[in-house]
A and B are shown apart, each in its own frame.
Chain A
Amino acid sequence: MKHVTNKNFFSDWANWQVVVALGFVLVCGVGGSFVDSDYLLQIMVLAAIYAAIGTAWSIAGGLSGLLLLGYISFFGAGAYLDGLLFTKAGINPWLCIVLSFFSAALLAWLISMLTLRFGLTEDYFAMFTVALSQVFKYILLNWDYAGGATGIYLTVVKDDFWTLSFIDRKPYLYIALVMLAAVILTNYAVQKSRLGYYLAAVRENDQAAEALGINVRKVKTQSMILSGGIAGSIGAFYTQFATFIDPKQVFSLATNFEMLLGPVLGGRLSIIGPVFGASFLKPTQDFLRGWMGGEADAVYLILYGAVLAVGILFLPYGAAHYVQRWHRKRYATSAQSGTGNDKGDLTGARK
C-alpha cells in the first residue's frame, strides 16, 4: 500500500528548519554587505564559523549521540594543515580546504577504529578526543618547523580570491556564509537519508539498532568521518581568515567547549539549534568579553560558566526543542488514518 505523503513541505520539521536556517544565512549575507565596521564583520565571520562547526558537530555529537567532546582536534588539525601547506609549500588554500577535509576525515576514521571497539564505553571516546587535542597542542608547541609556540603567520598584501587572502573582511564573511550553508545542507541531507535513520537508531538504542541489521560501529564511524572532515575544512578556512594561528589558539580546550555551546544549548538534534545558538552566543560572548575584559575577565568567566551550567539544566535538549514542539502543534496532522502521514521526524520531540 502506498504510504500517504504529507500535504505540506513545511509540515516536516527538517524541511522547515533548513528553509529557516538558509534564509537566515541569506539575511546575514545581505545585511553583512552593508556593514562597514571591521570589528563587527570580524564578529560576524567568527559567528558563522562557530555556527558551521556546531552544525557539523551535531551530525556526530547530536544525531548519532556520540560523546564527541574533543571536537577541536579536527578543527586545529585542519587549521595547521592549511597553515603549513600554504606558508611552506605555497599550496592553494582552496585546495588546502579540500585536503583538510580528507585529513581530518582520516583522523576521525582512525580515532573511530581505535576507540569505538565493542565493549568500550563512550567515556573513553570522550576522553580520548579531549586528550588528543592536548597531545596535538603539546606536539605543535614543541615543533619548531611549525612555528612552535609562536605559531604560523600569513602575510596578506592585497585582496586575492585565488589565494583566499583579503584585506577587506567582507569576502571572508561571504565565504564563511557559503560554507555555513553547505554544512546546513549536509546536515539536512543526512537527516533525510537512510543514514539519518541509522544515526537516530544508534542514538536511541544501539543494541536494538544492531538487531535490525544496522552495523553500529560502521554508522558511528561514518558520522565521525563526516563531522570530523567538515571541522577540518572549516579549520583551514579559519587560518586564512585569522592569518595567524598558534597551538594554544586552535587546540584550546576552552575554545573547544565554547564551540559546543551553540549546538548543546541550541539543540543538538536540530539544524536551527546550532545555527542560531552559535549566532547568538558567540557574538554575545565576544562583546561581553571585549566590554568586560581585563579586570572583569574573572567575572566574565563566572558568568559564562554559570550560563553553561544553568542553561543545560533548564534546556537539557536545547532551545530548539521548544520550537519543535510548537512546530508539531502548528502542523499537527490527524493521525486517525494511521498509515503515518508524517514523513518522519527523526529528532522526535520528547513529550
Chain B
Amino acid sequence: MSEQLLVVKKLVKRFGGLTAVDHASFEVAPGRILGVIGPNGSGKTTLFANVSGFLTPDEGQVIFDGHDITGRRPSEICSLGIARTFQIVQPFAGLSVFENVVTGALRGGRTGLNEARDKAADVVRLCGLSPVADQLAGALPIAGRKRLEVARAIATQPQLLLLDEVMAGLRPTEVDQAVELIFAIRQGGVTVILVEHLMRAVMALCEELLVLQQGQLIARGEPRTVCDLPEVVRAYFGETAAHAAAQELKNA
C-alpha cells in the first residue's frame, strides 16, 4: 500500500523481561496528524525510538515510503525523510539558535552550506525564533528550546515528523502557539505523529489517535470516539471508571 507513508508491522521491542512494545501495527497516510496517547510507560517513546532508528526492533518491520527501514541507523533514516524531537530536549547548547537550525538544514550533506543558511533563516522565521536567533541555545528557556527542537527537525525537510511530548512544560499560551506551529508545519506538507499527554493539544491537532497500553495498541480512531471507549478509560483510570464509561455508551 504505497499510499501509506509509514507502515509499522507487528513491532516488538523487549528489554530483558519487559515487553515495551508488543506487536504494534499501524499505518499513517501522508498529510495526516496522528496522535499516540497512553499512560506513562505504555511504550510510546520506545515506539518512536524504534521507528527513528535509535532502537532496533526485536521483531516486526518499519516501512517508510516503500523502504524497509527496520533497524537502520538514525542518520540514514533521517536522510530518508523522518525527523524526530526528543522528550528531553537536546539542543546544541554551545551553538547559537541559528547555528542549531543550520545544522539541521545541512541535511547530513544533501544541502550546501549557503543554501542551508538561507533555508535555516526561513525556518527560524517560521518558528518564531527570529528574536533569539543569535542567542546561545543553552540560554533559552524551555519553551524556546522546544521550539528550537522542532525548528531544527523541520530544517531537515522531512516527510514525517515525530514529536515526542513537545507540549510538556509549556504554559497555556505557549501550548496554543505550538499547536499553531504544528498546523503550519502540516500545511507545508509534512506528516506529523505526536506522542502527547496534554489532551487539549491532542484534541485540537489530531485527526486520528492511537492508544497504547503496556506496549499494545488497544484502540484507534477519531479522538472523540476513542476517548470514550471503555478500554481507553480503563487504561488511564482503572476498572470502575471503565464501567461508568461503558454505561454511558450504552445509554448514549
Contacts and interface: CB of A to CB of B under 8 A. Distances in A.
A28 interface: no
A2 B78 contact: no
B121 A3 contact: yes
A229 B183 CA distance: 49
A346 B94 CA distance: 8
A344 B102 contact: yes
B195 interface: no
A200 B95 contact: yes
Contacts of A342: 96, 98, 134
Interface string A310-334: 0000000000000000000000010
Interface in A182-236: 193-194, 197-198, 200-201, 203-205, 207-216
Contacts of A347: 94
A335 B221 CA distance: 46
Interface string B105-139: 01111101110111011101100011111111011
B121 A339 contact: yes
Q: Which of B75, B91, B96 has most chain A Cβ within 10 Å? A: B75
Given A211-B52, A346-B99, A348-B99, A338 B73 contact: no
A200 B121 CA distance: 19
A184 B131 CA distance: 35
B98 A215 contact: no
Contacts of A214: 75, 103, 108
A197 B120 CA distance: 13
A295 B188 CA distance: 75
Contact of B103 (A193, A201, A215, A345): A201
B156 interface: yes
B125 A339 contact: yes
B74 interface: yes
A215 B108 contact: yes
A11 to B, nearest CB: 12
B73 A215 contact: yes
Given A2-B118, A200-B95, A194 B109 contact: yes
Nearest to A336: B131
B152 interface: yes
B90 interface: yes
A338 B133 CA distance: 5
A89 interface: no
B121 to A, nearest CB: 5
A341 interface: yes
A158 interface: no
Nearest to A4: B121
A21 to B, nearest CB: 21
Given A200-B103, A338-B124, A338-B133, A348 B94 contact: yes
B44 interface: no
A241 B75 CA distance: 45
Given A212-B103, A341-B134, A207 B90 contact: yes
Contact of A204 (B93, B104, B110): B93
A339 B92 contact: no
Contact of B98 (A200, A204, A209, A344): A344
A209 B103 contact: yes
B108 A213 contact: yes
A351 B136 CA distance: 8
A213 B99 contact: no
B93 A340 contact: no
Given A210-B73, A339-B133, A1 B83 contact: no
Contacts of B94: 200, 203-204, 347-348, 350
Nearest to B109: A194
A333 B135 CA distance: 12
A193 B113 contact: yes
A208, A214, A346 pick with most chain B CB within 10 angstroms: A208
A215 B76 CA distance: 8
B103 to A, nearest CB: 5
Contact of B113 (A194, A204, A208, A341): A194
B164 to A, nearest CB: 11
Nearest 10 interchain pairs by C-beta: A213-B108, A338-B130, A340-B98, A213-B78, A204-B92, A208-B90, A348-B94, A335-B134, A215-B75, A210-B74
30 contacts: A2-B118, A3-B120, A197-B99, A197-B106, A197-B113, A204-B94, A205-B93, A207-B54, A207-B86, A207-B90, A209-B103, A211-B54, A211-B74, A212-B75, A212-B78, A212-B83, A212-B103, A213-B107, A214-B108, A215-B76, A333-B134, A338-B129, A338-B134, A340-B133, A341-B134, A344-B98, A346-B99, A348-B95, A350-B93, A351-B136
Interface of B: 52, 54, 73-76, 78-79, 83-84, 86, 90-96, 98-99, 102-104, 106-110, 112-114, 116-118, 120-122, 124-125, 129-136, 138-139, 152-153, 156
Given A210-B78, A215-B76, 7 more contacts: A197-B99, A200-B92, A208-B91, A212-B83, A212-B156, A337-B130, A338-B134
